[in-house]
Structure 1
Amino acid sequence: MSRYEILMPYYGDAPLMQDAVRSVLAQSGTDWRLTVVDDGRESGVPEWFEALSDPRVRYHRNERNLGVTGNFNRCVSLAEYEYLVLMGCDDLMHPNYLETVRSAVEREPKAAMIQPGVEVIGTDGRPYGTLVDRAKRKIYAPKGPGRGLFGGEDLAVSLLRGNWLYFPSICWRTEAVKRFGFRTDLAVIQDLALVVDLLVAGESLATSPEVCFSYRRHAGSESSVKAYTGSRFDEAKRFFKETACRLDAHGWHRAAKVSRLHLSSRLHAVTMLPGAARQAGRHGVSAMLKHAAR
């Protein structure tokens, strides 16, 4: 029986996307399917999938550009199996990805989210360490053996203090994601918004320490470009303020306080100052300082 729907919203670099597809095709078992949803018009892409001619792969090209969040929701609408993965089109699954996820599902069948072990790579595919990723591992992520089940206000506090998840590597229970979808008014922080929706609804997150996914981080990403102009942080400030009010109403006052403070987001703005100065000049520096100072 097919259980795992691997969805790949595509826009961008065709060779990296093809490597990502090949990494999915290397997965074990017969309980999965890959669906690529193309939000662009790059020539040669439909032909590549036609030549691939693999029954485990579906390819869709949107009639019009939907944007990042719109394409996420389009992917979710196509999911038919019990679990889904919204994989980045420049990321890589290791051959043991689905093996790791299957084990976690068997161990924690009620979890709505599964976060396996992740390595970070750069554009060249080599290990790539950043201050953000070191902070995720050393400061914000739970300490211990790496295998556990988390939820409720404690997890909300942890993630709002510093989001240590790697969104494209997460395996989600499809029903839970379809229940909420991704907020169309958010362009960068929509993944954390979905997690908060699920936690408030009583869902939980399972973690597994086995490294089985390569997350590609590079300066040209959507989030990095928006950060340099300040638009990412404008969105983040609005989200954290709204979430604080929502969590106070829900009775999660500790989490609301952390969201209102959003200290890690403000510190991140400080670390972005050199890049903002190079990429966006005085306007970028001003936006970073404004966010850092609340």
Structure 2
Amino acid sequence: MPTALRFAPRTAHRRRDPRPMRIPMFDPQNPEFARVISGIAGASDQPPILLASPHTPPYPSTASRKISLRSKGSSRGELVIPDELRRILFESSLEKGGGLWMLTYPGLVRLDDQPPAVPIVHPDGRPGWHTFDFRAHFDDGRRIGISVKDEAHAIKNDVAGFLQHIAPQIPKSFADGVMLYTERSISPAMLSNARLIQAVRRDPPHPADAVVGAIVATIQGQVRIGAIVADSGHGAAAFRAVVRLIAKRVIRLTADERIGYATRVTLARRNDGEVA
């Protein structure tokens, strides 16, 4: 005779409270805040875990005109300058790369995206307006209007000749000179390093910064970044600290290459140009 099947009795399930849990505003002195946070941590008898300060959104772009974000044929978006928490708009991947590179340029104190248009007279005598892609401000007071163009387009349309024609017309109140940037203005390694520098600038202060700074101050000749990292004992945080010192021109690369653990660096001289 087959054995009768036995079923375990159904256990009563606790009904979930449909009301969402209300978490009070960030206030360590609020007893309700401490109770909720301690409950989330699962240790109500332990000191509450304090949350980070509220997120501060970046300031809007200072661009003189808005760009369309609906294009299917180009890369459009924005960068955020860590030091200023300000957005910079770009209309192409080339323009993004130019902005990243300019943010690593020695002596740069501010980068304007899409600055106000300036009045010009075209080579054929027609009056018009020209909007530069960027305007760079330097610590010596100079301001440079920058046009970003694809190399093939720049050659075909003689953009360099056009900029040379309008340069004397640019009001001194706007800029002291003009510059053309194309994908051949910098090497792929320099662009890669600019991206890395932009990333590490977002890091909060870390003990590795002081340790790496002390090690770098003793450099004699050239040294590999990996050796600095190993001496510091801070691992990846030390590597990122080294990159920040490269960005600040405390040390410089000895060759045009992507920054890595095998990269050699040396102390920078006062008149060293950009190497990142």
Instruction: Give the TM-score category using the shorter length.
Output: under 0.3
- Whichever of the two has the greater Rg, that structure is 2
Structure richer in helix, relative to its length: 1
Q: Structure with the greater relative contact order (CA < 8 A, sep ≥ 6): 1 or 2?
A: 1
What TM-score do you get using the length of structure 1 for normalisation? 0.23
What TM-score do you get using the length of structure 2 for normalisation? 0.25
